[in-house]
Structure 1
Amino acid sequence: MEIPEKAQAAALERVAALGQQRAELLAQARALLPDLRAEAVEAVRIGAQRSRVQQLSRVSTGTLYGWLRDAGVEIRTEGAGDDAPP
């Protein structure tokens, strides 16, 4: 006879292990962000295409442009012409 509590405990142990692994991976990802941000900004500053930097960094366009804006890199607004205000 199977005891439901044993199956439940085993399932909870698997959930706990996976939850711990996920937390560790998220912490590693957060630790990489400052270096990724700096390298992405540097790549754009030395002439890399922004779309390629965004693609390779695997961050959203909004995140990349936020990093660039915070770093003082000029961001053109969509549809801005030569006479558009900065």
Structure 2
Amino acid sequence: MDIPEIEQAEALREVAALGVQRANALAEAERIGAELRAAAVRAAELGAPRTRIKELAHVSPSTLYAWFDAAGLEVRAKRPAAKKKAA
């Protein structure tokens, strides 16, 4: 005979364990992200090509340039989108 309360308790234990794992993974990702940001800024300050930094960091251009801007590095304004030609 299955007792629903026991099944619920087991399911809640699984949820709790996975919740702790997720929280730990997010904290680790946050720590690594801060280190990556600092390393990317340092590489740019040393003259490394920005495209190469972006490739190796596996981040989008907007993320990379936001990091540079926050660090006080020169960032050009984004070029306006080109208008489509009429056919």
Partner of 1:5: 5
Task: Find out whether 1:59 has 2:67 as its counterpart.
Answer: no
Corresponding residue number in structure 2 for 1:25: 25
TM-score normalized by the length of structure 1: 0.74
Residues 29-68 of structure 1: CA distance to partner in whole angstroms, max 9, x if unpaired?
2222332111101222333332332233233332211110
Partners of 2:26 and 2:38 in 1: how far apart? 19
Aligned residues: 80
Q: Measure the CA separation in 2 of the matches of 1:12 and 1:76.
A: 51
Are 2:18 and 1:14 aligned?
Answer: no
- Mapped to 2, the partners of 1:79 and 1:23 lie a distance apart of 39
Name the counterpart of 2:43.
43
> How far apart in 1 are the matches of 2:41 and 2:14?
40
How far apart are 1:79 and its partner, in Å?
Answer: 3.2
Gaps of 5+ in 2: 81-87
Structure 1 unaligned residues grouped into runs of 5+: 81-86
Runs of 4+ in 1 over 6 A off after TM superposition: none
Give 1:49's aligned amino acid: P
Give distance in 1, aligned partners of 2:21 and 2:15: 10
**Identity across aligned pairs (percent)?**
50
TM-score (norm. length: structure 2) = 0.73
